[in-house]
Amino acid sequence: MLRTTVGFAVVAILMMRCSASEQKTAPAPVKVSVLEIKQRDAHEQLSYSGTIEPDNTAQIGFAVSGVINTIAVQEGQPVKQGQFLAGIDATEYSEALAIATASLDQAQDLHKRLSALYEKGSLPAKDYIEIKTRLAQAQANKHINAKHIADSRLYAPMTGIVTARLIERGSMAAPGAPAFTIVKTDQVYARISVPESEIGALKKDMTARVYIATLRDTVAGKITIINPVADATSNTYSVKIRIANLTGRLLPGMIATVIIHTDRPVPLMTVPATAVVRDANDVTYLFLRSESNTALRKRVTVTGIAGDNEVVVTGLENGDQVITAGMSRLKDGSAIAL
């Protein structure tokens, strides 16, 4: 009987020691800061992927035929309006102009002499009209040949970049055949495709922010063209945002992200950016304060930026209490204290 009593006493002492040990090793609540989330309305923000396009593209060529003897520009070269691009051998046109000039001089001299006779009544009207016609023809012939000489030299019709050179020195130029392609880039457009559900929110002259990933820069633009006809295949509407490009940094073909703020209000849930945690699997989450004062891990999706230190998230409800400080020591179910 004594042994049994001693045994119970030993077991009781051990249990008391274990309980005391457990009380000593139980983690203390983590001190945190909490922010109650309130839903608020903000202007709708729409984001699209687009492509930079030139303001204008022109294919230019000679208006007369001839052998090309000069090429002054190459592909990729920037050019100014009126800059000389290429020329053809104009010897034939120069000789024709000399002949036309001589004919005009002769016609002018004859017209001068016969005009005096006509005024005195010594020349029939028929003959006078004939010499006037001959003079007009000679003047037109000279102008045509002078134009042929001018057309033998090709100049840039606008400021831009030569994107294609389609001629070679010594080759034959044909009237109307393209010799160069020039794109105008002092201003460019970001073209985007907008679905039917969102096209009603966009209006001409709305401002837009255009992010160019290649340049790691954001530029301002303005909606200038909204195509009223939807694409038959994608059922989307083409919209163009005009961007000033005086420095020439924006090049046709660059990929752009266009962000437009509309006038339509939308409900938003925003939290401090520092409250959002990203794990090794690229999953974003934050911690909420539960009714039992424990940390509740909640997965969220970040959809945008709302301010200097706020992000827009989905996955929360109005009134949720988000832990904004002390997250590094938390895990799901950790006890917390304010």
pLDDT in tens, 227-261: 999 999 999 999 999 999 988 899 999 999 999 98
pLDDT score, position 165: 95
Domains 91-147 and 269-337 share a fold: no
Spatial contact of 315 and 37, defined as CB atoms under 8 Å apart:
no
Q: How many CB atoms lie within 10 A of CB 172?
A: 11
- Assign 90 to helix, strand or coil: coil
The yes-or-no verdict on residue 1 having pLDDT over 70 is no
Q: How confident is the model over 71-117, as pLDDT tens digits?
A: 999 998 999 999 999 999 999 999 999 999 999 999 998 888 888 88
- DSSP state letters, 271-320: EEGGG-EE-TTS-EEEEEE-TTSBEEEEE-EEEEE-SSSEEEEES--TT-
Q: What are phi and psi of 33, to 5 degrees?
A: -115, 145
pTM (two decimals): 0.61
- Tens digits of residue pLDDT in 172-202: 999 989 999 999 988 999 999 999 999 999 9
Six token digits for residue 328: 């590094």
Token pair 């509309």 is found at: 262
Q: Taking the domains of the chain in order of start, what are their residue ranges?
A: 46-55+184-263, 91-147, 269-337
Q: Residue 28 has what pLDDT?
A: 86
Q: How far is the C-alpha of 184 from the C-alpha of 201, rounded, in Å?
A: 30
For helices 91-120 and 125-151, give the axis angle rounded to 10 degrees: 160
Chain mean pLDDT for the chain: 88
> What one-character DSSP code corresponds to residue 27?
P
Helix (H) or strand (E) holding 35: strand 33-36
Does the structural domain 46-55+184-263 have CATH classification 1.10.1040.10?
no
Tell me yes or no: is domain 269-337 CATH 2.40.420.20: yes
∠ CA 280-311-338, nearest 5°, is 80
Side-chain-facing half-sphere of 262: CA atoms under 13 Å: 13
| Domain 91-147 CATH assignment equals 3.40.50.1110 | no
* Angle CA 113–117–119, to nearest 5: 115
One-letter amino acid of 178:
P
pLDDT at position 93 is 93
